[in-house]
Amino acid sequence: QQQVKQSPQSLIVQKGGISIINCAYENTAFDYFPWYQQFPGKGPALLIAIRPDVSEKKEGRFTISFNKSAKQFSLHIMDSQPGDSATYFCAAYRTSYGKLTFGQGTILTVHP
Amino acid sequence: DGGITQSPKYLFRKEGQNVTLSCEQNLNHDAMYWYRQDPGQGLRLIYYSQIVNDFQKGDIAEGYSVSREKKESFPLTVTSAQKNPTAFYLCASSYHRGNTEAFFGQGTRLTVV
């Protein structure tokens, strides 16, 4: 009930293309869904987040789409750049538990 | 500068030894977390603490121990009972409930030799 499943495991995109990473969750008690970006040898950093009462959130080139009925959410990176090459993690948070549950991660490579 | 500091960055341990990883934060966060990162497995929660002198087991607590004697500090001990300790360990902190953004340290890479 606490799982978050993320796909794909790795993704290769050309510069200027759209990167799409998908996540699915099981527990409807989750009430906050962040995405984290991690560069090699560094800790993850918050990229963008959404709450389940909103279907879409956009910040610059990054957009989260949220489908509450399907229990799925996705990250779209528009106009992907080589500097976006990193590992991306989706996560789900349940306030009553006070902890984040992470997906398996997606290694994104953007070719110039 | 406010932040979360992990030390050391690299740590080598002989089999059978206990080692302690340090995590300190000056963000005045109530909650602190320890995650383990292995390739293809994401971040798995080891232990977390929402207030001083209290902590809970995460999903993979076996072979690990923690303490939370001060708000700023949440050290993790990897004991000899942990059968496969080689991994990248990440500490994080956040405000307790309400504001849920977690801030991560730079990680400690532990290698058993």
Q: Which amino acid is at A5?
A: K
**Which residue shows structure tokens 């902190």?**
B93
Closest CA to A72 of A18, A6, A2, A1: A6
Which whole number is the average pLDDT over A4-8? 95
Compute the C-alpha angle B99/B55/A29, nearest 5°. Answer: 50
- Which residue, among A21, A99, A107, would best test binding to B if mutated, counting the most B CBs under 10 Å from its CB? A99
At residue B32 the predicted structure's pLDDT band, cuts being 50, 70 and 90, is very high
Distance from the first to the final alpha carbon of chain A: 40
Separation CA B78–CA A109 (nearest Å): 33
pLDDT digits (tens, 9 = 90+) for A43-90: 999 999 999 899 999 999 999 999 999 999 999 999 999 999 999 999
Question: What is the CB-side half-sphere exposure of residue A63 using CA atoms within 13 A?
Answer: 13
Which whole number is the average pLDDT over B67-94? 94
Separation CA B19–CA B13 (nearest Å): 7
* CB-based contact, B48 to chain A, within 8 Å: yes
Q: What is the pLDDT of residue B41?
A: 79
CA distance A106 to chain B (A): 8
At residue A97 the predicted structure's pLDDT band, cuts being 50, 70 and 90, is confident
Distance of CA B28 to the CA centre of its chain: 17
Q: What is the pLDDT of residue B99?
A: 55
Q: Is the pLDDT of residue B15 over 90?
A: no
Separation CA A80–CA A37 (nearest Å): 14
- Which residue, among B21, B25, B100, would best test binding to A if mutated, counting the most A CBs under 10 Å from its CB? B100
Q: What is the pLDDT of residue B98?
A: 54
At residue B95 the predicted structure's pLDDT band, cuts being 50, 70 and 90, is confident
Q: Which residue of A has its CA nearest to B37?
A: A104
* CB-based contact, A44 to chain B, within 8 Å: yes
